Structure 1
């Protein structure tokens, strides 16, 4: 049978780190997005270029000093740019023209820095290498202030705060609360500590919450900020399921979210959108093809496993992107 690729185990990582320091040099962590606006843009991009140069240098050293099967390189710069620059890089944000121009320049400089690093990584390819450039989400500009879903639940009577302890939730009177990015959990008796919603009332409470979200109107704009609200059972169609999914799952319209996190993956606003990047090139990959099917983040791992000839993870959710391959049955030969 197929054998897993070699792995660097945790005890070896410290030795690898010392080896990199000795042969490549000290490492600069991602310049945090909090530095944007604190230091000037030119200094930030000088640090970012150094960071990307060092990532490329480490990759070159590792690939040149040992046998390797898979190389992962991660840059968080595009995420920082999404939050800081993309938020005001479009007229829909209402920003001044000088701010829009600065933000568009910041986006261009960010991706130029990433592209230069990618160019160096691509040079490490040989005739048997496949190169993937992927992202886990996109981003959109800010238009309206983000909606506080806890406030929506409070106004609708589902979430109650203690009258004597400030903004601490009073679970003895709370029917539901928002948890995480897009999840609302019902305070279900027998499941939650101090739960008060009876099992017989569970489904109706789901429907009542959905009705409240769909009926909510933002007083500043006169618009409903919710693009979607689903029961846990129906949320499976957007790949949210199981005990960790909310009893109600929602998505905001991009005008009311900013950046990413609470929007549908198909959302677009101004120059931005939530579609991810998936670029694949190299051995056995079709050239110049724009795939018509939807590629999801969960498709990346099984595609890598297929290309490497290793077993699929037992919990894999996605599928192999066969449409990108010249010979989908290469492993059977």
Structure 2
């Protein structure tokens, strides 16, 4: 029975399916797995620990030895994704009136998390289809936006988590970032450790997704579903288009620039990680988690279609890059 294969056919399936399964159990029979000991520790209360371990594994995949054109492309996309995605998130934050508010049903933390994280697997697949090997190699830099780091940076810029605002402390900030930094150091001092920890990332995603789901009800999913889809469309249009035009400005393959217009599956864990660092964001953490999950699915479906449309448009103008012509 090909369970894993079937789940992977669903965009973001290894994150979304366990999350929804956990939410279903929590809605229908909330006490089923709340029986104490190892069962409850893993399936209900284990999200924070599992996310911390995931962050350590993700940190180990950030390769310090990234140079040349690949580094330039990766760093440019990383910066564009953060600046424009963070700008939209900051605007939503202000319009919502703070971390506990909503704007058009969207939680500010969900918008910032979805906008500043990108689906590395989807980027590599699209870069491989429409770009060169150096475009795929840029992922070693883009991996830096996996997790809560750039969400935290955005919140710090808008003052939401600044020390002066009373929302945040240096100790809490270090507590979230330390697993990433430890993983980064381990992965760069030993290639075997990077390979070993890299395998853990994939395994941990469905584990912490289920635990997150066990703390979400379908009521919140119904509340956050449609705004989450809208959020996904915004991610594609805002960060995909800005990446496209930035790469075009530098005379690089613009289709590869647009390939950054997605939300990472592991971004679903970001609201919980931020709430752990700042209680001010705990109020909307369930809703934000669901909205980010909806954005993951939406961008996974919409982005390849959007890039295909852009490729056809470039082909009609006679501007399609050589490496992308066979795919048009």
Give yes or no for TM over 0.5.
no
The TM tier, using the shorter chain, reads: under 0.3
Bigger relative CO (Cα 8 Å, ≥ 6 apart): 2
Report the TM-score when normalising by structure 2.
Answer: 0.24
Structure having the higher helix fraction is 2
- Please state which structure has a larger fraction of its residues in strand: 1
TM-score of the pair, normalised by structure 1:
0.24
